Structure 1
Amino acid sequence: MIRISRRQGCFLIIGLIFLVILSSSVMRTTAVVAGRDSNRAANSSLADVPILNYHKVDNFYHALSVSPQEFEEQMAYLAKNGFTTITPDQLMAYLNHDRELPEKPIIITFDDGYLDNYTNAYPVMKKYGFTATIFLVTNLVGHDERFMTWEQVQTMQQDGFVFGSHTVSHIPLNKLPREQAMAELIDSRKEIEYRLGTKTRYFAYPTGAYNSQVEEMVKQAGYKAAFTIRYGQAGAESNPYALERIPIFRGQHTFRSFFVRLNAAPILERFGLIRN
């Protein structure tokens, strides 16, 4: 049996944290980091809120896929440890107006709107009393068998799930002419509002790619906030149009990665190692 001293254990934890930093730096290569909104009146004493970012929940061996068994293990961990899912509206009311949140708030998000979000993730989340925010690629909903139908989206909405835009066709907005980018933003928002009968206030950048011009277009298109793939938690210093998330991927030790990413973020932020 190999014994590990307390000092060795500390070095192991530090090593895991720096692995998180390394992996997050790779993910950020597709994103153009926008500047902070220095005029935002935020209370710096507010606690940060973790926002998990998933894509698929299936048995395919793909980086964006988490198996149903692994997903349930992660949801069980959150439930056992007292986390409560909140909506983006609750998050923004907290960050902007210091409105009260549950003791351990968390937002669970999915990008794209895959069918398995409905068939595999939805039943597990209902089991643990959780909801999620799902960002839809509207041209794929009801038109591609790999993605949800509008009827399925409406069913989840009735159970408290929130739906935002991930554009019409999932093209990175920084690659498009302004007129086309605005159409992607506005047309997707209007389609979701028409289908669900509610305002569409939130947006997630396709591939995480954005810049200051794209951020300004998102504001002009009528969105209240936008989500990136930058690793970190949402807090008082966050730009509401560049909110950080904690991406969850499949790996050799998926739960270990989930655990480290979720629990390392507050440590990294405390020492100023993320949100730079």
Structure 2
Amino acid sequence: MVRISRRQGWFLIMGLVFLLIVSSSVVSTTAVVAGRNTDRVAGSSLADVPILNYHKVDNFYHALSIPPEEFEEQMAYLAQNGFTTITPDQLMAYLNHDRELPENPILITFDDGYLDNFTNAYPIMKKYGFTATIFLVTNKIGHEENFMSWDQVRTMQKDGFVFGSHTVSHAALTKLSREDAMLELTNSRKELERQLGVKARYFAYPTGVYNHQIEEMVKQAGYKAAFTIRYGQAGTGSNPYALERIPIFRGQHTFRSFFVRLNAAPVLERFGLIRN
């Protein structure tokens, strides 16, 4: 396992902070600048919460694919440093109503619903007592061999994993007519509720692309909050329909990248470099 001292960690963070600023600027070109969360209790001061964003946990050499051994290294780091996974319901109760969270809370999310989320990520997360929220492309679940089945989804649900919508077909909503976009939002929510027997309250934007009109449609479709790929942490300055996340990618030094992206976010926010 790669071990990074506090001193080495700060050198890594400051050495790569410029790259993070550049990457966050690129992402923000396709996203709405987050507004303030107007539902929260007035006068409260809350710490920001990191939300990790994964896609695949496998051995394919792809930016969105984290090798299982490296994913376990990341989960071990979180466990050793006292992080506790939370659900979106807990996050929103905290942001809106100042409800208490466990010490060092973190929300782990996956987009799409790939089979390796069940075969590779799920056993590792169970080992460390973690759960995740997985945003499903509902027409792919149970229909494509590299995606999970509904039985596998229900198995994870019994262990505390939460499932949200990533639309029916993973279409970029800004490229669809209003009618078709609303069908993607509502039909995916209905299928999740039919298959899992619980309200589908949360949504993640396919490809990370959205605008104010899409935000309003997500709200009208019955979702409580929505997640972006905009780099940052969720806090009192966040728009609940444009929540920031920390995307985790594969690289030459994947753990170092994970370490920096996780630990640099609060530094960048403190200096006003993200979530302007």
Bin for the TM-score computed over the shorter chain:
over 0.9
- Aligned counterparts of 1:174 and 1:88: Cα–Cα separation in 2: 25
Q: Which amino acid aligns with 2:122?
A: Y
Aligned-residue RMSD, C-alpha: 1.7
Q: Is the 8 A contact 1:164 1:192 kept in 2?
A: yes
Q: Which amino acid aligns with 2:167?
A: T
1:18 Cα deviation after fit: 1.3
Q: Where does residue 14 of structure 2 map in the other structure?
A: 14
1:11 Cα deviation after fit: 7.0
Q: Which amino acid aligns with 2:104?
A: K
Q: Where does residue 3 of structure 2 map in the other structure?
A: none
Q: Write out per-residue CA displacement over residues 13-39 of structure 1, whole angstroms, 9 at most, x where no aligned residue.
A: 42311111122223334x231451474
Q: Is the 8 A contact 1:35 1:212 kept in 2?
A: no
| Equivalence map 1:1-276=2 (5 Å) | 13-29=13-29, 31-37=30-36, 39-42=38-41, 43=43, 45-276=45-276
Give the percent of matched residue pairs that are identical in Structure 1 and Structure 2: 80
Q: Is the 8 A contact 1:34 1:215 kept in 2?
A: no
- Any idea what SS the aligned residue of 1:249 has? coil
Q: 1:173 to 1:39 in 2, by over 3 A?
A: same
Q: Structure 1: which 5+ runs fail to align?
A: 1-6
1:223 Cα deviation after fit: 0.1
Q: Write out per-residue CA displacement over residues 165-185 of structure 1, whole angstroms, 9 at most, x where no aligned residue.
A: 000000111111000000000
1:45 Cα deviation after fit: 1.3
Q: How many residues align?
A: 269
- Aligned counterparts of 1:81 and 1:112: Cα–Cα separation in 2: 28
Q: Is the 8 A contact 2:137 2:166 kept in 1?
A: yes
Q: 1:17 to 1:221 in 2, by over 3 A?
A: same
- Any idea what SS the aligned residue of 1:56 has? coil
- Aligned counterparts of 1:10 and 1:76: Cα–Cα separation in 2: 20
Q: Which amino acid aligns with 1:32?
A: A
- Any idea what SS the aligned residue of 2:210 has? coil
Q: 1:78 to 1:221 in 2, by over 3 A?
A: same
- Any idea what SS the aligned residue of 1:14 has? helix
Q: Write out per-residue CA displacement over residues 92-116 of structure 1, whole angstroms, 9 at most, x where no aligned residue.
A: 0000000000010000000000000
- Any idea what SS the aligned residue of 1:163 has? strand
Q: 1:257 to 1:234 in 2, by over 3 A?
A: same
1:74 Cα deviation after fit: 0.1
Q: 1:51 to 1:8 in 2, by over 3 A?
A: closer
Q: Write out per-residue CA displacement over residues 198-242 of structure 1, whole angstroms, 9 at most, x where no aligned residue.
A: 000000000000000000000000000000000000001100000
- Any idea what SS the aligned residue of 2:245 has? strand
Q: Structure 2: which 5+ runs fail to align?
A: 1-6
For normalisation by structure 2, the TM-score amounts to 0.94
